[in-house]
Chains A and B, each alone.
Chain A
Amino acid sequence: MIVVKRLLILLLALFVLWTIAPENVAINIPPALSGGTPRSIVLNPPVIDVTIFGKEIHKDFRTRLGLDLRGGAHLVFEADTSKLKSGDIEDALTSARDIIERRINSLGATEPSIKIVQLGDSYRINVDLPGVDNTAQAVSLIGQTAQLSFREELELPEELATLSGQLLAFNPEPALLGNDVKKATMAFSTHNGQPEVQLEFSKRGREKFAELTTKNVGKQIAIYIDEQGISAPVVQQPIVAGNAVISGQFTQEEAKALAIAINSGALPLPINLIEQQQVGPTLGASEIQKSVTAGAVGLAAVMIFMVAYYGRLGVIACLALLIYASFSFSIFRAIPITLTLSGIAGFILSVGMAVDSNILIFERIKEEQRRGRDQKSAIRLGFGRAIDAIKDANITTIAVALILFNPLNWSFLPQFGLIRGFALTLLIGVGMSLFTGVFITKKLIELFYRHK
């Protein structure tokens, strides 16, 4: 029985080690071992792909890094809901979210995230675009409402036209909207090679457009994006094929962005940018490198100190600490938690608290020994006494971390990623340190002192 138990523990430990393995490590197998031909294996953390009860489960154990570490853009938009009925707001926001998602897919962001946050009466849309370095382009692409419309020429009374110096005016009531466009693509004009946007109408749009062009032969039809006129071609003949072209003084990027915006549909509500943040990828990389080095040096110093001061118990503490760090990191990858700079700080703090649990236990054991108890009962009593203090101390930390993490997303508490990242890693770290402090350290002490 005990053999099975130990085997299970060993398997679990090996699995945890696998989940925290570095990514994409190439191992070259010397020709002598692989039968003459040199081969190499690429090692990766495990990826689980199973189907249980018809549900597909996919889990991979890769470190997810936050925007501040790998570079990218973070944008916060405020949605203008003033023109909507309260019942329609939710639908409008959900569809805005989908539309923004479609638009940013063309930006090449890896794992973009869009979140809607409610704050009292106002709504915000948080957009994270890892790996995107052209924030200005992202903002204009996401932010434009992009309501495409075709407008008919208005008959202006002659005096008014001469008075205003304006020869033409267009009916502000659109005759045809972008919803009737099936597909928009960027192309180069066959006439002059300039970038343009080609439109293909849906069935309904084709009928409407045919009707519109039949009615307006010889007149101009204006193409508007939101309230801005793009072009106003003269209708030469009725167009029944269901195609149209928007030409203007576009650059290639502009034409492409416009096509994307029309394709993704018009945003159901206007949004304004209120916060933006951009981190270059180089800064992130050097910050990680430095923090990892510093963390390693700090950890080494802590371990040397523990062994120097507590001797054999210090070795146990170091082992417990390594197990603790592996488990925590494994959990970070499993959930997964997006690691940010503040998150790493939270983790480091929890490492400090885990060391403290061990120090508390050792000091208590020593104290019991000074009172003349034999080793076995000293360990048992010291442990029991230390756990009380560890429990109370950690519960208060957990309480503070919970308030900062704000799990129910209360709008009167902080909702920013920075603080939540810190709180979450601290929370998991303290929880894990309770676990390792209570179970692992105890097991290790028993193991180490059994033969003495």
Chain B
Amino acid sequence: MNRIFNSAEIPFIRLSKFLAEAPKKVNPKLSSEEKIGYYNRKIGDALLDDFWTSSVFNDFLCKATGLKPKFRKSSHISYSSGDYSLLHMDESESNRLLVMYDLTKKWRHEWGGYDLYTSPDKDPLVCNRDFGSLMIVKLNPGDLSCTRYVSLKAQSSAHIDWIVYDLD
């Protein structure tokens, strides 16, 4: 897994059906979060916060990436029709590992809502919505991420547990 992670220009690994049993009900308590020109979305506590902060998951991350990530924060983020986040919200970020656990059900690609990662002089990395998948991405300072605008025609919301780990 370590070799797969480091094989791409922007190091990443994506694992479908990561958990044997994904949460059946996704009904977190969320509040609106807006900073015009940066993002418009809903945010709350990560559904699986205990797991993301556990030593079991941290050990897994170390083996999968060959890195030593240190937990920073976790959230549950939801994007509904009209919501988005833009790349420059990451402009002041440092070396980090982003982990996204996708809890989006019944999504259509044409609604947008996919995650995008960019790095100077490298091809961008696109991650479509896929219920139950775990995405791990290593980003350096100057690397940016965002979630594509969600169409007003979207009939459901994208839901992600979003976790950031700092890297030395």
Do A and B truly interact? no
Residues of A within 8 A of B (CB): none
Residues of B within 8 A of A (CB): none
